[in-house]
Amino acid sequence: MQAIEIEKLLDSPDSTVFQGTSGCYLPLDDDWGVKFFYCESSRDYSYDQQRYYETMRVAPLTGPKVKFTYQGEVHYGYITEHCQCCDTAVMEYHHTEIEDGRCEGCDYFDLTAGDEYDSFLMDNPEWGDKYFELKGRLESHNIRFNDDHAGNWGINHMGEPVIIDFDKSSSSRV
Ligand SMILES: Nc1ncnc2c1ncn2[C@@H]1O[C@H](COP(=O)(O)OP(=O)(O)O)[C@@H](O)[C@H]1O
Ligand SMILES: [Mg+2]
């Protein structure tokens, strides 16, 4: 995907950009998306970490780096496999939506890391089992999932659980 095509998609009112605290994510189609950052070094850190975890099959597939302009600023990104993110499933299960990082009447982090998240994992073994599979695989590779909440992992096209957030605070190699 060329930078110009990403810029066009970002300008389109039909596109949804997922705003994280350090990075953003734009789904491109059912298979791929672009993860992007303000800062080139943050992009490079995330890219390198994802490439490394990909070799252990605990990360989405990683595509090429791309540089483009968004809201008048240069942004640095890379193409990544689009996964089914656990946070979407949690929100669907609890029939709620997140707006600007918070959902109505409920703390975002309660939904993705608190009681609502625990009950979701218990009641939905197709996710609960994948979560424990991911934890086991990470442990076997000596990876610590520091920012362990529903917005930071998902299921790839092979049906495998993977981390999707690779910023500095998300995980570490122990
Ligand atoms: N590969 C992906 N597939 C599907 N959704 C993703 C992917 N990467 C990120 N997202 C979505 O974008 C959100 C923000 O991305 P993330 O990398 O966690 O940013 P941050 O580091 O700022 O938390 C995620 O919570 C998730 O909803
Ligand atoms: Mg995140």
pLDDT digits (tens, 9 = 90+) for 105-127: 666 667 788 888 999 999 999 99
**Is the pLDDT confidence value at 28 over 60?**
yes
* Ligand 1 contact, 22 CB (< 6 A): yes
At 107 the pLDDT is 67
Give the DSSP per-residue string, 90-150: HHHHTT--EETTEETTB-HHHHHHSHHHHHHHHH-HHHHHHHHHHHHHHHHTTEE-TT-SG
Q: pLDDT exceeding 90 applies to what percent of the chain?
A: 76
Report yes or no: 22 and 42 within 8 Å, Cβ to Cβ.
yes
Contact indicator for 137, 131 with CB cutoff of 8 Å: no
- Of the candidates 165, 144, 168, which has an alpha carbon nearest to the alpha carbon of residue 20? 165
β-pairing, 143-144 with 172-173?
antiparallel
Model confidence over 73-108: pLDDT tens digits?
999 999 999 999 999 999 899 888 766 555 666 666
Q: Which of 103, 164, 166 to mutate to test the pocket of ligand 1 (most atoms within 8 A of CB)?
A: 164
* 20 in contact with ligand 1, CB cutoff 6 A: yes
Q: DSSP secondary structure string, 123-135?
A: H-HHHHHHHHHHH
Please give the model's pTM, rounded to 2 decimal places: 0.93
More confident residue, 23 or 99: 23
Task: Output the six-digit token pair for 83.
Answer: 């996964």
pLDDT above 60: residue 146? yes
Which pLDDT score, from 0 to 100, does residue 98 have? 67
pLDDT at 174: 79
